[in-house]
Structure formats: structure tokens, C-alpha cells
Structure 1
Amino acid sequence: MAEDLKFTINNKVEISWDDGYYKSNIENVDDKFICISIPIKEGQYIPLRKFEQVEVIYYQGSDIYKFYTTVVDRKVDVIPIIVLAFPKEVFKVQRRKFVRVPIVCTMEYSKLENKTQNIVKAIMVDLSGGGMRIKLSNDQLSIGNLIKAYIPVGDDNVEVKGEVVRVEKDDPNKMNIYGINFLDLDDKNREKIIRFIFQIMRDQMKKGTTN
């Protein structure tokens, strides 16, 4: 069990499902079970059944935890609730050291020290909760440069401030790969990025099982 973890009534949880993450709250907890409200997303509920295995994301303050468990029961106690078995293992997700996932897509950025704020397109090659790597065809950035980046996250664009901390040569393609650390990223946008990463990981795992 992760250190300093307490499952608290009214704290948020999310259930990972085929089409994303469904929100819920903890309604009751003891040393054997965790009772949650019916998970919901955009007005739709998950039809969880007894003995079904689920992946759960749990929020405690500014910390994020992840665990796997089984649906024990469904019942009505003032409101309809799902009874989950108390998890045997819980993993703490390090926000700034969050697992990095490969993702190739076009993104845009501008140098903060550039008063004209020219928008430049780049290729993002991976993403984490604390940074990303982008690929460019020339030496447009240097270590220490500050940028404003617009990251495509699902149907949204998340605006982040970043600092170039590494430069790698991609000789076969005559391009540079720049490591960017996010700066002053607020919790709301970090949550968006982390949820997006979870979804990518889930999609990749599903593809792996069907190949």
C-alpha cells in the first residue's frame, strides 16, 4: 500500500472504461470495502457488474494514486452505490516524474523572449505529466530557451510554459529533438494531460492484446 494513503469519504475517484474515465465519489469505506457512487461521464453511467475488474484513479489532495480491484456488489444506500473490494496494492503516481508515453503529433509553440511571438510548428514525440520531447528540422531552440506551447489533448489544446533542458541530434532525419520541462503548470491543465496519458496507455494496451 502506498505510504500516507487514506481513502476518505467524498474524495474523487475515476473509473477507467473503454471510452475514457468516469467520475465518482467515495461514499463509504472500511478495511474490506470501498463504496463509490455510480461512475458517470457526460450523463452516461457505467454498467458495472458484480465480479467485474476495474482500474481506479484516486485523488487525495494534490496526489494521484492508481489501483486495480473487483466489483463486489451493487446496492442502494440513500443513493445507488458500487461496492469495491479494498485494494491489495496501490501505486502513487509521481506528477512530475509521471511515466512518459510515445505520441507522435503536430503541435505549436512560440519563444517567450520573442516579442513577435511567431508560431512555429513542431512534432511532439512523447509526453509526460512534467514535460515532453519535440522534434524540429533546424536549430531553432537552445538549452535555456523558454517557450509557450499548445499541446493537443484530445479535442482540446492545453497551453503550457516550458523550458528547453536537453538537445539531441536525430542524425538519420537531420533533425533535433528537444527535451522540454513544463513550468508553472496549474493543477487543472496537469490533470488534463495526465488523464490523456492514461487514455493513451489504455489504448496501447488494448491494441497489444488484439495483435
Structure 2
Amino acid sequence: MKVDNESFEVGDRIEILKKQGDERVSYPSQVLDILGDNKYMISGPIQKGAIVSLYIGEVIEIAYIRENKGRYNFKAKVFNRDPKGVYTLNVEKIGKIKRIQQRNFYRFNINLPVKKSYKFMVGNKTKNIEEKCLTKDISGNGMKLMCNFRHSVGDRIECSFKLNDILIITDAEVIRVEDFTNSSDFECSIGVKFLDIEKENRESIVKFIFKKERILREKGMI
């Protein structure tokens, strides 16, 4: 995609968000042609090999990601459809582009190895417990860790983990503790929020999430 937040190019990956009852369902799509100002031809949604019907006049949402910037969406109206051969839709943007502000809070489900260190005082001595954990999910603001040591809410820990070739070391605070009954390797999970994480490290996490999510979307897995 172009570096601005309002223009598409042919080949750009997007999402179609369609209301189904009280929920919004996401389908991967792609920009196939630029038809004019605010008008695009896009690939129609397919689920498990079957066409997901959208009708002329139906209002949908188009969502997309600007790498290192965030997630955006806008409302669009279907003004033409061709289900024969390659399923295509012609849509027109009818709403303002909105930036989804909570990109740091978006949690991405992934298992990453994390080294956790917990220092605390026993009498006059400092004790340090280190443990190898796995993330259950991660965001720019924190993560859920599967572990065995039972923490208390408010415990401060140090977490170190790698994202590709980037080593991230940050302090974190335990904000939630839950029993973990569906794993033979871990006894509990803890939700932690990062404390004073460097801006570059936070951006590395967000960029990592966007990249992984884009790969899954291109494979049609989300």
C-alpha cells in the first residue's frame, strides 16, 4: 500500500467486515482494480470454498493495516457484484476513514518462549526465581504468560524474549492470576502489563503482530 492512509493500490490486502446478527465476521479480500474516486473492485469473500453472498446496496466495512502506523477502516456500499468465475464486488467508500486507536491493546494469540525473573526479599536477602514460560497472547502493552510459579497480583517481574532477532527485556507487573487446567506443562497463567517499556520495543512488538497477522490473513486463516 501507499504510505498515506487513504489510497489503495491494486493488490493491496484488505478485510471485509460483514454483520451477522450481533457479530461482525471478517473475510480476507484484495483490491483488484481502482474504478475511480472512492470506488474499487475487490475480491468477494469466500468461506470454506463457498461464496459469502453480499448484495447490491449492502453496507459493509473495509479494514486494512498500514504497517508501523496502525489499523484503519471505513464504511462502503456494494454497487455491483459478479459471482461468476472470480467472485468480485464493486464497492464505494461512503464513510470517513477511522483509525482504530487501540493498536497497543490488540492481543495476538501466539506461543513465544519467555524467560521470567522474579526477585523478592526473604529477611535481609534477595531471592531470585527464574522460570521458562510461554506466552498465550501478546500486545504492545502486555501479555498473558503460562507458567508454574504462583504469583500474586502486584508482583513485579522481568521478562526477556525474542521477536525474530530483536531481544526485548522489560519490567512488568502481574495484574491477573488464573488457574490453568488445560495444560500438562503449566499450572497457571498470569496477565502482565509492561512497565516503562522502551518505545522502540513497543513498536517492535506491534510491528511483529501486524506482520504475523498479515501472513495469516494472506493464507486465509483469519
CA distance in 2, matches of 1:189, 1:90: 26
- Residue of structure 1 aligned with 2:71, choices 62, 66, 75: 66
Aligned residue type for 2:10: F
Q: Displacement, 1:125? A: 1.1
Q: Which residue of 1 aligns with 2:102?
A: 94
Q: Which residue of 1 aligns with 2:158?
A: 148
1:136 aligns with 2:147: yes
1:181 aligns with 2:193: yes
Bigger Rg over Cα: 2
Q: Which residue of 2 aligns with 1:205?
A: 217
Q: Which residue of 2 aligns with 1:82?
A: none
| 1:163-185 deviation line (CA, Å, top 9, x unaligned) | 00111111233610000011111
Q: Which residue of 2 aligns with 1:157?
A: 167
Q: Which residue of 1 aligns with 2:12?
A: 53
Q: 1:151·1:160 contact (CA, 8 Å) conserved in 2?
A: no
Identity %: 25
Q: Which residue of 2 aligns with 1:126?
A: 137
| 1:133-160 deviation line (CA, Å, top 9, x unaligned) | 1111342x22111011012212222111
Gaps of 5+ in 2: 14-63, 75-94
CA distance in 1, matches of 2:182, 2:12: 45
Q: 1:107·1:151 contact (CA, 8 Å) conserved in 2?
A: yes
Q: Displacement, 1:127? A: 0.2
CA distance in 2, matches of 1:118, 1:164: 15
Structure 2 counterpart SS, 1:120: strand
Pairs aligned (count)? 147
Structure 2 counterpart SS, 1:171: coil
Aligned residue type for 1:153: L
Q: 1:148·1:160 contact (CA, 8 Å) conserved in 2?
A: yes
CA distance in 2, matches of 1:205, 1:56: 11
Q: Displacement, 1:95? A: 4.8
CA distance in 2, matches of 1:118, 1:171: 23
Q: Which residue of 1 aligns with 2:21?
A: none
Aligned residue type for 1:162: A
Gaps of 5+ in 1: 1-14, 16-23, 35-47, 70-86
Structure 2 counterpart SS, 1:198: helix
Aligned residue type for 1:137: N
